[in-house]
């Protein structure tokens, strides 16, 4: 285990808008990995906000992402990023190589921002995608924490 969280490897999760999938993945991976990893998310074309239904879906798991912000991947170009994980096809296609990058994964998920209907109908979509992201990123985070 690393001595401090600031020495922990950085995992960057990328999406196009950095408003839904990557925000949820960031929080879920950080919860699973604890201090073993530093986790951040960013977008190739950030939407400038975190989707309110993403915030609501995560709150249902007692995870508060209301203070998260939508970030541009350019903010990380000069940082040592050990692992880059893209969660949408567009981000996967435009993903640059970051300093220190050892690995890159693409784990694609449907975009909950595309959900239509009433808020409750949209929440069904958000919950499904959140739970899919949770399964994948929690398993990864627990595995990384155990390895360190």
Which positions are annotated as active-site residues?
15, 88, 95
For 76, residues 6+ apart whose C-beta sits below 8 A from its C-beta are: 10, 12, 40, 42, 98
- What string of DSSP letters covers 98-115? PTT--EEEE-----GGG-
Each residue of 11-22: b (16+ CB within 10 Å) or e? Answer: bbbbbbbbbbbb
**Around Cβ 87, how many Cβ atoms within 10 Å?**
29
Element housing 70 (H / E)? none
Greatest alpha-carbon pair distance for the chain in Å reads 48
């Amino acid at each position: 285990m690393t001595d401090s969280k600031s020495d922990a490897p950085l995992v960057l999760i990328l999406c196009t808008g950095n408003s839904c999938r990557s925000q949820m993945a960031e929080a879920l991976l950080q919860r699973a990995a604890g201090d073993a990893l530093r986790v951040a998310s960013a977008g190739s074309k950030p939407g400038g906000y975190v989707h309110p239904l993403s915030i609501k879906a995560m709150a249902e798991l007692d995870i508060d992402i209301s203070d998260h912000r939508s970030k541009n991947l350019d903010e990380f170009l000069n940082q040592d990023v050990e692992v880059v994980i893209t969660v949408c096809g567009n981000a996967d296609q435009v993903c640059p190589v970051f300093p220190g990058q050892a690995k890159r994964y693409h784990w694609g998920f449907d975009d909950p921002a595309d959900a239509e209907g009433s808020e409750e109908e949209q929440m069904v979509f958000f919950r499904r995608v959140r739970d899919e992201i949770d399964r994948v990123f929690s398993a990864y985070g627990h595995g990384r924490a155990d390895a360190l």
